[in-house]
Amino acid sequence: MAQKKKLNALVEVLGPAKIPSPLQNCRFITANKTLTLSIPRELLDEKGNGPEEIICEEAGPREKIYFDAPKTKCAIVTCGGLCPGINDVIRSIVMTCHHNYKVASVVGIKYGLQGLIPQYGHELVELTPEAVSEIHEFGGTILGSSRGHQPVEEVVDSLERLNINILFMIGGDGTMKAARAIAQEIQKRNLKIGVIGVPKTIDNDIHLVSKTFGFDTAVEKATEAIRCAHTEAMGAPNGIGIVKLMGRESGFIAAQATLALKEVNFVLIPEVPFSLHGENGLLVNLEKRLKKRGHAVIVVAEGAGQELFQDLGTDASGNRILGDICQVIKEEIKKYFASKNIPYTLKYIDPSYIIRSIPANANDRVYCGFLGQHAVHAGMSGRTNMLVSKLQDRYIYLPISLVTQKRRKLNPDSNYWSAVLSSTGQPAKML
C-alpha cells in the first residue's frame, strides 16, 4: 500500500505552556498528540488532487496552559457580514473565559477592527457573564461589525496599549487573512498576544471546515422562501418562481436548501456554468418543464452564471463585483416566452438578509458553544495564528495560512451534487 500524501497542520505557539490549567471535570487533550484525518473528497480541488490526509491537533483543554488566567485580558471582535450564531460564539467565549478560566476581563471591540482604530472613537464594551447571558436569543452581533481593511500596525498598537493577551476574531476569509497579518505583526514586535480565529461565513465556503456555523439556520430559513416560490408557481398558469440565495463563490446554501425542500426544479450555482439559450440551455429546459407540469421553481445562488458577464471589476473592499444574474434570467425569460407567445407568471423572491440576521437554531447553538470553548482553550494554551475548525465530526485547530489558501467550493463531481440534480430533475449539463 502506497504511503498516503499527508499534510502537516500543526499550529504556532507563543511559548511553552507551563501553568496548570484551572479547569476541573474535563478530559485534557494529551500534549503533542495529533489526529490523522482523511481529507474528504468534497474538500479537494476540482481534479481530486492534493494531500489525502491531514495531521492536526485536536481541539480541547490542555493540562498546562500559557497564560496566567487571573492576569489575562481577552478581547473579542466580529467582522464582516452577519450570520446566525455570532452572539452564541461571543457568549461562549465570555462564559468560558470567566466561569472556567476565571480570566481578569473580556472586552468587546465595537464595529469590527474599526473599534481598535482610535480615530473612529468607538468605545470598548466590558463583556461580563451578566451582559451576555441572553444575547443568544437575538440575531446579529451585539458588538456590531464592519467591512474593509484597517492598518495592521494601528491594530497592534491598540492591542498593546489595551494590554490584550488574547484576541478572538470572528469573521470570514478576509478577517482570517487580517488575523494572520495581525499575528505576524505581533510576532515581529515579539509580543505575547495570541490571535485565535473562529471562521464565519454564511456561504460555507471556508477551506478545511466541513460546515461553518449559522449555515444550517440559513438553509432552514431559505427553505421558507423556496416553499413560497413553489406556492406562487403553483398558483398561476405557467407559474415560475425564482429564489435568489446567498453564495458568491460557492453554491452550498442553494444546493442544501434544494435538498431540504424537494420543490426545486432548477438550481444554479457558481461552480456549474450554464447557458440560457441553445437546445441545452435553461430556457428550453424551463419551457419543457412548464409544458409537462405547468409550474417551475428556480433557485439561483447570487454568484451563479458569472461567465455570462464581462469582468465587472472589484469593489472598494477588493471583492469581485457580481453581475445581476437574476435580472438577466428574468429578462431572457420574458423575451423567450414572448417570442414563443407563451403566457406565464413570474414571481421573484429575494429573501436576502432575512436568512442571515436571525438567531441560530438549536444545532448551530450547540456548535457555536463548542467553537467558543475551543477558541478559549486554544488561546489560553498559548496557541496563535490559528482557527478552530470542525472536520469529520471533530473539533481541531488549524493554522490560518492553511485555511486561507483557497476557498471551499461545491464539487460538481460528487455524489452530493448528484443528489441535488436527482432532486431537481434538471440536466447535469445545461450548456
Mode of pairing for the β-strands spanning 386-391 and 394-399: antiparallel
Residues 94-133 that bind its own copies (CB under 8 A): 95-96, 99-100, 111, 114, 120, 122, 133
Residue showing cell 409544458: 291
Shortest distance, position 304 Cβ to its own copies, whole Å: 19
Active centre residues (catalytic): 203
If DSSP codes are grouped into helix, strand and coil, which group holds residue 150?
Answer: coil
Residue of the chain from 159, 259, 268, 386 that contacts its own copies (CB under 8 A): 259
Interface with its own copies (CB under 8 A), residue from 10, 131, 260, 284: 260
Q: Which stretch binds its own copies (CB under 8 A): 65-73, 142-150, 190-198, 399-407?
A: 142-150
The least distance separating its own copies from the CB of residue 418, rounded to whole angstroms, comes to: 4
403 binds its own copies (CB under 8 A): no
Q: What is the DSSP string of 236-278?
A: STTEEEEEEE--SS--HHHHHHHHHSTT-SEEE-TTS---SSS
CB 312 within 8 A of CB 321: yes
Counting beta carbons within 10 angstroms of the beta carbon of residue 4, is it exposed (0 to 12), middle (13 to 18) or buried (19 or more)? Answer: exposed
Q: Which is nearer to its own copies, 91 or 180 (CB)?
A: 91
CA distance 181 to 187: 10
Residues 6+ apart with CB under 8 A from 323: 305, 306, 308, 309, 312
Q: Does 144 bind its own copies (CB under 8 A)?
A: yes
To its own copies, the closest distance from the beta carbon of 354 in angstroms equals 5
Report how far residue 180's alpha carbon sits from residue 399's, in angstroms, rounded to the nearest whole number: 9
Shortest approach of its own copies to residue 186 CB, angstroms? 26
Residue 427 phi/psi, 5-degree rounding, is: -65, 150
Instruction: Show contacts with its own copies in window 150-209 (CB under 8 A).
Output: none
Quick check: 393 binds its own copies (CB under 8 A)? yes
With CB under 8 A as the contact rule, which of the stretches 63-71, 180-188, 258-266, 401-409 interacts with its own copies? 258-266
Name which of residues 207 to 236 contact its own copies (CB under 8 A). Answer: 210, 216, 219-220, 223-225, 227-229, 231-232, 234-236
61, 171, 251, 382: residue in contact with its own copies (rule CB under 8 A): 61
Count other C-beta atoms under 10 Å from residue 296's C-beta.
Answer: 26
Are the beta carbons of 295 and 264 closer than 8 angstroms? no
In 3D space, the residue among 196, 194, 189, 195 whose CA is nearest the CA of residue 66 turns out to be: 194
Bridge pairing between strands 166-171 and 73-78: parallel
Q: Give the integer Cα–Cα distance in Å for 37 and 357.
A: 34
Residues 212 and 149: their CA atoms lie apart, in Å, by 23
Which span (155-163, 171-179, 332-340, 417-425) binds its own copies, by CB under 8 A? 417-425
Pick one of 30, 40, 153, 314: the residue that binds its own copies (CB under 8 A): 40
Shortest distance in whole angstroms from residue 365 CB to its own copies: 4
Q: Is 431 in the site for its own copies (CB under 8 A)?
A: no
CB of 332 to its own copies, least distance (A): 21
Q: Specify the pairing of strand 383-384 against strand 12-13.
A: antiparallel
Residue 407 Cβ vs its own copies, minimum distance, rounded to whole Å: 20
Annotate each residue in 290-329 with x if it binds its own copies (CB under 8 A) or - if it does not, as one string.
Answer: ----------------------------------------
Task: Please state the closest distance from residue 145 (CB atom) to its own copies, in A.
Answer: 5
Nearest to its own copies of 193, 272 (CB atom): 272
34 touching its own copies, by CB under 8 A? no
- Interface residue with its own copies among 98, 136, 408, 409 (CB under 8 A) is 136
| Residue 409 touches its own copies, criterion: CB under 8 A | no
Is 214 within 8 Å of 329 (Cβ atoms)? no
Binding range to its own copies, per CB under 8 A, among 13-21, 321-329, 380-388, 422-430: 422-430
Residue 98 and residue 380: Cα distance in Å, rounded? Answer: 12
Closer Cβ to its own copies, 34 or 401, answer by number: 34
Q: Figure out which of the listed residues 6, 18, 188, 262 binds its own copies, where binding follows CB under 8 A.
A: 262
Q: Total number of residues binding its own copies (CB under 8 A)?
A: 84
Give the number of other Cβ atoms within 10 Å of residue 390's Cβ. 20
Best CA proximity match to 396, nearest among 83, 90, 71, 37? 37
DSSP-based three-state secondary structure for 154: helix
91 binds its own copies per the rule CB under 8 A: yes
Please report, as residue ranges, which positions from 356 to 375 form the binding site for its own copies (by CB under 8 A): 357-358, 361-363, 365-366, 369-370, 373
Residue 254 in contact with its own copies, rule: CB under 8 A: no
